[in-house]
Amino acid sequence: NPERLGGHDTMYQGGQLLIDPENPTCLIARTTRPFISPSESFELEGQVMPTCFLEGLVSFHGRYYMYYGTADSKVAIASAPQE
């Protein structure tokens, strides 16, 4: 919806894929829908809008921390418990 995205038709979102650890060129599966999409004002407004650009994933004390760029203006962190 370009109205929701401040008039923009393109959005940067994050998806997931599973690769074979023995052959990283072999794709096993991928998600059909993004698991992270811009929705907050700092993700929708900036130099490149709207953007959630994934940077890295860290495992720390039983949680995952995902660092991501927002509208090419800030860096944010999303976290989730490890299961």
For 47-73, write each residue's pLDDT tens digit: 777 888 888 999 999 999 999 998 878
**Residue 22 to residues 17, 31, 56, 57, 63, Cα–Cα distance (Å):** 15, 21, 21, 21, 26
Higher pLDDT: 38 or 7? It is 38
Q: Model-level pTM? A: 0.72
Tell me how far apart the alpha carbons of residues 57 and 30 are, in angstroms, rounded to a whole number: 17
Predicted local distance difference test score (pLDDT) of residue 8: 60
For 14-32, write each residue's pLDDT tens digit: 889 999 999 999 999 999 9
